[in-house]
Every structure is written in C-alpha cells, then in structure tokens.
Amino acid sequence: MKIIQILTLLFTMSAPVWAQSSQPLLMNIHTAENFTDQQYDKLMQAKQLVELIINSAAFKSRVLNFSYNGTQEFVQNNGMSNQQIYDLLMTGAEMFPQQTASDHFMDFDLVLYKPKWYQSKKVLGYTDQSTNVIHINKSFFNQASVNEIAMNLVHEWVHKMGFDHDFKNTSRRPSSVPYAVGYIVRDLGSM
C-alpha cells in the first residue's frame, strides 16, 4: 500500500515536469542476470520509482539547490555547476564504457552477485568503467527497500555518466555526485 501511495505522490509531482520537458529520462534495463522472478519484480518496482523521481520537479529542485560547505555545488563535480550536472544527467548520455547518444535513457546491464563474506554489508554494488555491467550485491538487494534499490541503481548509473567519489569513506564523499544524487532519489522515494 505504501508503494502505491509513493508512486501516486511522485506521479502527481512529476506530471507537470513531463508536460514541460521535451522528453523524460527513462530506464532501459537491457539485461538482468541472476534475478529470481520475485527479485525481478522488485527491480521493476525500483525502475518505476526511479523514473517517477528523476523526472519530478522535486528531484530537479534538490539537484539544483544542493550545497556542500555553504556553496551551491557537489563535491567531485568535474568542474560543472549543479545546473550543468542536472542537464547532463537528463540527457542519458553515458560516458562509460563508451560515449552514448543523448537518448534520454539510463542504460542498465545488471548482474546480481553473491559477495564475499567480508563485503556482504559494506559494498552495495559496483561499476567498472570498462564494461556496461553494474553489479548489485545480492545480500543488499534482498533486504533493501524499493527506494534503497532505486538509490543504488542511480548511484551506480551516475558513475557511468562520468562522476566519481572518494574510495574511502571520507567526510566529503556523501556530497559527491553519485552519493548525493543517489541519496536524493532515496529520500524522495521514502516520502
């Protein structure tokens, strides 16, 4: 019931933006390996949630108004303003593993994997810039809420868009583009 309420709220928030936009940003899941039917259903719920959030006025406002240490900017922003980051994300033009067209699609090739025991709680997923594949930690996926999965998908996709963050858990890492945009999606999805 809560998912339906969230989707209804986000759809209501996003409808005016979709009407104003020439084309919404949508998710295209090309492959999803190692997912059971139940896990795939959960993935599809996260996909719908991402599409509603990322095309909403609330998402746009949070990205444009994001600030770090009193300055309206993201950490590790590749020299881009918040507006430039938002505009780039909305094109869907991934940089890795190769440059794609501005087709307004978030492209995903997903693999659900079983992590080593010491990674089971620390690593939610990872992206390798040399391949299209985004790996999702099965332990995380199984226990995560739909909005947490949406957060992780967007975080990993933002890496494909060319943004990075500190490898270690530094104080500035949550304000990097992948983390901050992922947290925006998570927070809007939990409303």
pLDDT digits (tens, 9 = 90+) for 93-140: 999 989 999 999 999 999 999 877 655 556 788 788 888 899 999 999
CA 128 to chain centre: 16
Question: Number of folded domains in the chain?
Answer: 1
- Report the phi/psi class of residue 6: left, alpha or beta, with left for phi > 0 and alpha for psi in -120 to 50: alpha
> Taking the model in full, what pTM does it have?
0.85
Domain that holds residue 65: 2-189
Cα distance from N-terminal residue to C-terminal residue, the chain:
13
Residues 150, 53 contacting (CB under 8 angstroms): yes
CATH number at residue 165: 3.40.390
CA 69 to chain centre: 23
- As a whole-number percent, the residues of the chain with pLDDT over 90 amount to 73
Of 69 and 114, more confident: 69
Least confident of 2-16, 32-46, 125-139, 165-179: 2-16
